[in-house]
Amino acid sequence: MNECVLVVDDDREIVKAIGLLLEKEGYQVLKAYDGMEALELVAEHPVRLIIMDVMMPKLDGLSAVMKIRERKNLPIIVLSAKSEDTDKVLGLSMGADDYVSKPFNPQELAARVKSHLRRYTSLGDIHAQQQADVIRNGRLCYRMEERTLYADGEPVKLTATETKIVDLLMRNRGRIFPAEEIYQRVWEEDAFAPENTVMVHIRRIREKIELNPKEPEYLKVVWGIGYKMEKIENHC
């Protein structure tokens, strides 16, 4: 799974340049142009590291760092045109892990990103968080708290009903659920000829998660009984 880096700067050219640099290194890049947008993306996506400018509209970088630190323990590199020691100290004291002055050396920035991610992945709280919050199943990872399914590291766009079905089946991998039980649990009402309704939703989920929906690897039908999420060796 490509690790996700969030780049935040109100200068779109800088965001674009850093984004291209990191994508060449194999990272998935999210982009934001102010502190408020950054907070929204951190809440919605599995961000592993943030590169944050200081001077930005709506919410400045250091205030955003403080708010992120209330919930997340991921590496944050502060980026600023200011090079005075007092600014560096302020940024680090408010929760940043590193400080890079503009103009920056692209190779140095890429090396710092790699170094922080390596330390975070091996020493940080990422593993504890994943163990408690994530169900892994082959190419699929389901974050229970977010109620978000990822396939090959990319979030899958599911409807509310599809999410309920995925939640039920991922939490009970290997167990076969009759269509009637799926309907009762997901729609929370008595089932009356639910087979077609459930089948349509299962087919739509397959189209979103299976490499070959006609020969599903994960979401399988057990003829005459129901549906199940196949247990598969973990890759993510």
Residue whose pair of structure tokens reads 């090079």 in the numeric block: 83
pLDDT interval class at 124 (50, 70, 90): low
Task: Quickly list DSSP for 28-81.
Answer: EEEEESSHHHHHHHHHHS-EEEEEEESS-SSS-HHHHHHHHHTT----EEEEES
Please give the residue that has the higher pLDDT: either 161 or 61: 161
Asked if the model's pLDDT at residue 1 lies above 70, the reply is no
Total of domains in the chain: 2
Q: What is the CATH number of the domain that holds 36?
A: 3.40.50.2300
Residue 234, in any domain of the structure: no
Do residues 110 and 49 both lie within one domain? yes
- Which of 92, 124, 156 is the last residue in one of the domains? 124
Do residues 9 and 106 both lie within one domain? yes
Do residues 79 and 31 both lie within one domain? yes
3-state secondary structure of 157: coil
Residue 62, in any domain of the structure: yes
Q: Provide the β-strand partners of residue 6.
A: 30, 50
Both tokens of 130, joined, read 């994943």
3-state secondary structure of 205: helix
Give tens-digit pLDDT for 12-67: 999 999 999 999 999 999 999 999 999 999 988 989 999 999 888 888 888 898 88
Do residues 168 and 113 both lie within one domain? no
- Which of 100, 124, 148 is the last residue in one of the domains? 124
Do residues 70 and 94 both lie within one domain? yes
Total-model pTM: 0.53
- Which of 77, 95, 124 is the last residue in one of the domains? 124
d(CA 231, CA 36): 39
Query: Who contacts 60 (Cβ-Cβ below 8 Å, separation ≥6)?
Result: 35, 54
d(CA 191, CA 180): 6
CA-CA-CA-CA torsion sign (164, 205, 126, 41): negative
Do residues 63 and 83 both lie within one domain? yes
Both tokens of 209, joined, read 């998660």
Residue 236, in any domain of the structure: no
Domain span including residue 191: 133-229
Residue 167, in any domain of the structure: yes
